[in-house]
Amino acid sequence: MQWNDLYQQFELQLSEWYDKPEIQAIFYGIFEKYSGLNKIHFYTHRFEEIPTNSLPVYLSSLNSLTMGKPLQYILNDAPFYQLSFYVNSDVLIPRPETEELVDWILQDLRMLNARDKNLHRMENDKELGLTLLDIGTGSGCIPISIKFHAEKIGVKVQAHGIDISENVLKVAQLNATNLNTELTLKNLDILNKDNWNDIPNFDIIVSNPPYISPSEAEAMHQNVLKYEPYIALFVPEESDPLIFYRLIATLGLSHLKAKGYLYFEINPLFNVEMEKLLIQLGYKNIECRNDMQGKPRMIRAQKY
């Protein structure tokens, strides 16, 4: 089989789910991953025979795609905020909406850096910087991206992440290592308040917790339901879709430093309830922002 024949197979079998530009992007991603060559090489060598020992991995990838498996899981790679993260079925695929949350935090850090000398406080001739905790860290894309990019603008960040799953933490640690970014990780169930004593205080707490109600599953793509981890998507109780937010915001009252910030990615269906919850708990300077689709997706609050 020639490379061009393989591409035609991708077009033929994936046309039901993807348009032509998407199929091209998918094919080039797989080609570059497994051949180590770029798409220009494909164009200039597309009528060459595919090495027999190389063909199975491409056909296996195509078969997985036709069954709905996300490309990111096939390639074990997901781009996020100008970085590349290893992903597998233990962790959610990082979403563009979460990039917007990271961008908001980095914008705030730029402004704080310009006006707050405490960001550069020293101890034993070392700059302490800000402390940040990501709850339900998954692939580690949030704390790693924030620390990686914050330090480029002169803001030192001590990044921490917690998650209930040891397998998830292995993925986060691998990403931290691959991106040469220090990340302190802890295996902890946030729903168990007895564990809260093991958590120190932070300048920033951020979380993109499970926020989808089980009743919303019918409207979701089957490939998400089939391949992405259920525990990272859905709240455990239909009766309380804000269960994680309520607990994390309560945790913030005791584990955020004075004037510390709490950031959430939220379910757009419950933005009003989220604002009310944070007001009831005594947070100030509450702001909700829309994502690029115009949906209320992020919220920030400050502890006083």
Domain ranges of the chain: 3-67, 78-302
Cβ-based burial of 145 (10 A; exposed 0-12, middle 13-18, buried ≥19) = buried
Question: pLDDT (tens digit, 9 = 90+) per residue, 169-195?
Answer: 999 999 999 999 999 999 999 888 999
Q: CATH homologous superfamily for 78-302?
A: Vaccinia Virus protein VP39 (3.40.50.150)
Pull the structure tokens for residue 6. 């393989």
| Reduced 3-state DSSP string for 150-218 | HHHHCCCEEEEEEECCHHHHHHHHHHHHHCCCCCEEEECCCCCHHHHHHCCCEEEEEECCCCECHHHHH
Residue appearing with tokens 């069954």: 67
- Note the pLDDT of residue 16: 87
Which residue, among 94, 102, 23, has the nearest Cα to 62 in the 3D structure? 23
3-state DSSP assignment of residue 282: coil
Question: pLDDT (tens digit, 9 = 90+) per residue, 104-147?
Answer: 999 999 998 877 655 555 555 566 689 999 999 999 999 999 99
Percentage helix, strand, coil for the chain under 3-state DSSP, each rounded to 5: 50, 20, 30
pTM: predicted TM-score of the whole model, two decimal places: 0.89
3-state DSSP assignment of residue 279: helix
- Note the pLDDT of residue 234: 76
**pLDDT tens sequence for the chain (304 residues):** 999 999 999 999 999 888 999 999 999 999 999 999 999 999 999 999 999 999 999 999 999 999 989 999 999 999 999 999 999 999 999 999 999 999 999 999 999 887 765 555 555 556 668 999 999 999 999 999 999 999 999 999 999 999 999 999 999 999 999 999 999 999 999 888 999 988 999 999 999 998 777 666 666 666 676 777 777 777 776 668 898 999 999 999 999 999 999 999 999 989 999 999 999 999 999 999 999 999 999 999 999 8
The DSSP bridge pattern shows strands 202-207 and 184-187 to be unpaired
Which residue, among 65, 26, 38, 34, has the nearest Cα to 51 in the 3D structure? 34
